[in-house]
Structure 1
Amino acid sequence: MQEKRALVTGGAGFIGSNLANHLAEKNEVIAIDDGYLGTPENLDETVEFHEQSVLEDDLPTDVDVVFHLAALSSYKMHEENPTKGARVNVEGFVNTVEQARNDDCDTIVYASTSSIYGSRTEPSPEYMDVKARTGYEASKLSRERYGEYFANHYDMNVAGMRFFSVYQGYGGAEEHKGEFANIIAQFADEIANGKSPEIYGDGSQTRDFTHVSDIVRGLELAAENELTGIYNLGTGTSYDFDTVVEYINRELGTNVEPTYVENPISEDVYVHDTKADVTKFKNATGWKPKINFKDGVRQVCEQYQ
């Protein structure tokens, strides 16, 4: 991205801090975060940090581009407080984009989710029908509709990125997320410490695991190309949880078996399988993932060796 002034909301969180730190190498970057799942310790000194909620007035939106990543980002968070989930994910999005628009910023790149595709072993394209099965999914679909509104009504560049299972490991910026970290990070830490990782069901569920560095490059390219619309960010390849455990054991030289437990989440809403069709985004930007699954697991495990 050519030198710009950028705002990253949720900027002290996992994906947000990776993005902010990367952008700060060549740009002026402001990060805001309310501290719920973020810590300023994740940020480089070159990033200007403000402890703020996206629900507040007077956000620092006098920028060239806003990367809106702030969200309550899981099923559990929303079920504990559906009203708060809607406020942060929907009202917070509208509040941020409206302030940016009033500050003459016309480029918004924001986080949506692949969960709205439900369970699919085949690649999921952006044009397929989606539905809201959970409060989390409803909030992200609402965000997409408001993004469409801002793009159509105000002629803004508004790109919604449907992330697939993003990971980095506790050696990156995931450790503070605890139970909300990606399962690769959680399993690696447990296995490295001789603990048996818990797997819901029989371990056959699959995820399109996407390294955070590939997500960061995708977000940057979406802004550079001033994209509008909805785009998938994933690898197009999926691995089951048993394979995750196998690869981690192989990297660490361990032989820790998982523990299989009954899934506490209803089958009606549990996403058993995900896989991205990234054709649309590749055609728009030339992007493709650089870190394959084996190399990604190896990087996650490096801190324990």
Structure 2
Amino acid sequence: MNGQRLLVTGGAGFIGSNLANHLAEDNHVIALDDCYLGTPENLDDSVEFRRGSVLDDELPTDVDCVFHLAALSSYAMHEDDPTTGIRVNVEGFVNVVEQAREDGCDTVVYASTSSIYGNRTEPSPEDMDVEVNTGYEASKLARERYAEYFANHYDMSMAGMRFFSVYQGYGGAEGHKGEYANVIAQFADDIAHGRSPKIYGDGTQTRDFTHVNDVVRGLELAADHELNGVYNLGTGEPYDFDTVVELLNAELGAGVEPEYVENPIPDSVYVHDTCADPSKIHEATGWEPEIDFREGIRRVCAPYASEPL
């Protein structure tokens, strides 16, 4: 993208700020955020920051493309306050897209989730049957249905990106998320400071860990190609939590053992394994992950090199 006016909602958050900073190299980027999970400190000076909610009446949607990443993004947030969860994730989505449409913007790229695939050790294609077990999953699936409505009724380009386990580490924009950060960030910080990372269950659960830089490229390509429908953004190469701890220890030169604790999330809703089938986004745009897992681990651990273990 080059020379365009762009809006990133949730733009001061983890993925949003990485996207906004990247796009601002060649575009005028507005980052909208209410600072619940984000902070303007994540943003470069070249990004125009607007503090506000996706539920506001007057939004800066007079743009060429909207990247809608704002969301309450965890199971716990939705269980603690289901009404707010649905307002932000669904009503906020419709509000942003409708204002964009009225302002003449017909290209939207938005965040969905891979959680709706449930437990899968095999690659999950976009056309497989999905189900909803949590309020968070329900809100993201509702987004996909409303996106279908905007695409079919108003001929808008609506690309839903089903994120898998996106990470960067506390040395990046994940630092502000704290306990809501990816487990790689949390485990790395624990090990670097001599604390035992807490693993739910026995450590055999797997995630398709995808570096945020690869996700940012996927989001930009989806906009460039004016995609419609839903697309996986994942590597197709999952790793279990025990292996994550092992690799982090090796990179940090540490030997910290994990602590295995009872999973506070009910087994009926806990996603034990995830694995992407990224072939659809690859065929549509040529996207494929460029940062392999061991390189990603090295990048997560690099900021701790100057700290004493």
TM-score by length of 2: 0.98
Letter in 1 for 2:82: P
Deviations 1:174-216 (A, max 9, x none): 0110110000000000000000000000000000000000000
Give the equivalent residue in structure 1 for 2:176. 176
Give the equivalent residue in structure 2 for 1:254. 254
2: distance between equivalents of 1:74 and 1:115? 11
Shift in Å, 1:134: 0.1
Give the equivalent residue in structure 1 for 2:299. 299
Letter in 1 for 2:269: V
1: distance between equivalents of 2:3 and 2:111? 22
Give the equivalent residue in structure 2 for 1:203. 203
Give the equivalent residue in structure 2 for 1:163. 163
Give the equivalent residue in structure 1 for 2:14. 14
Superposition RMSD in Å: 0.4
Letter in 2 for 1:243: T
The answer as to 2:113 corresponding to 1:113 is yes
Deviations 1:27-55 (A, max 9, x none): 00000000110000000001000100000
Deviations 1:77-99 (A, max 9, x none): 10000000000000000000000
Give the equivalent residue in structure 2 for 1:152. 152
Deviations 1:60-119 (A, max 9, x none): 000000000000001001000000000000000000000000000000000000000001
Give the equivalent residue in structure 2 for 1:89. 89
1: distance between equivalents of 2:132 and 2:95? 22
Give the equivalent residue in structure 1 for 2:135. 135
Runs of 4+ in 1 over 6 A off after TM superposition: none
Give the equivalent residue in structure 1 for 2:74. 74
Shift in Å, 1:2: 2.8
Letter in 1 for 2:67: F
1: distance between equivalents of 2:31 and 2:107? 16
Letter in 2 for 1:216: V
For 1:109, what is the secondary structure of its paired residue?
strand
Letter in 2 for 1:41: E
Q: Identity of aligned pairs, percent? A: 75
Shift in Å, 1:120: 0.4
1: distance between equivalents of 2:278 and 2:296? 19
For 2:290, what is the secondary structure of its paired residue?
coil
The answer as to 2:135 corresponding to 1:100 is no
- Structure 2 unaligned blocks of 5 or more: none
1: distance between equivalents of 2:45 and 2:303? 23
- Structure 1 unaligned blocks of 5 or more: none
Letter in 1 for 2:101: R
1: distance between equivalents of 2:216 and 2:283? 18
TM-score by length of 1: 1.00
Shift in Å, 1:274: 0.2
Give the equivalent residue in structure 2 for 1:42. 42
Letter in 2 for 1:49: F
For 1:174, what is the secondary structure of its paired residue?
helix
For 1:8, what is the secondary structure of its paired residue?
strand
For 2:194, what is the secondary structure of its paired residue?
coil
